[in-house]
């Protein structure tokens, strides 16, 4: 069971960032194929996003799974809502839903 402080940290992260990806590694050096695929989609969308490397914080790594009731990493949150992992992101990408979900999210400076 996640301790309340970890739950609060996760809730603050999710609330503070319009697009947040909990992943293994960093955007420049993803540490699993699923995280790499999630980053590739976010990069193609061109939106501003933040990431949390769960490999650097074991409390967050376990806590995020309980917070979302989702067993795997990566996990995407948009506007405070849990969206899913890379498979769900890919399904949404192919259906055009991920693009729509990002309406109103600032784009990265090129």
Q: What is the DSSP string of 23-81?
A: ESB-SSSBSSHHHHHHHHHHHHHTB--EEEEGGG-HHHHHHHHHHHT--SS-EEEETTE
Residue 110: its pLDDT value, please? 54
Q: What percent of the chain has pLDDT over 90?
A: 95
Architecture of domain 4-101: 3-Layer(aba) Sandwich (3.40)
Q: What's the whole-number mean pLDDT along residues 17-35? A: 98
Q: What is the pLDDT of residue 108?
A: 87
On average, the pLDDT of the chain sits at 96
List pLDDT tens digits, range 53-104: 999 999 999 999 999 999 999 999 999 999 999 999 999 999 999 999 999 9
Q: pTM above 0.85?
A: yes
Question: Hey, where are the domains in the chain?
Answer: 4-101
């Amino acid at each position: 069971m996640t301790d309340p402080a970890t739950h609060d940290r996760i809730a603050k992260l999710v609330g503070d960032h319009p697009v947040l990806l909990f992943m293994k590694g960093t955007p420049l050096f993803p540490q699993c194929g699923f995280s790499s695929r999630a980053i590739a989609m976010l990069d193609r969308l061109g939106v501003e996003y933040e990431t949390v490397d769960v490999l650097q914080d074991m409390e967050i790594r376990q806590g995020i799974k309980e917070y979302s009731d989702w067993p795997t990493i990566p996990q995407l949150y948009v506007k405070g809502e849990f969206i899913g992992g890379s498979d769900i992101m890919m399904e949404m990408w192919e259906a055009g839903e991920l693009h729509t979900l990002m309406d109103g999210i600032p784009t990265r400076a090129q």
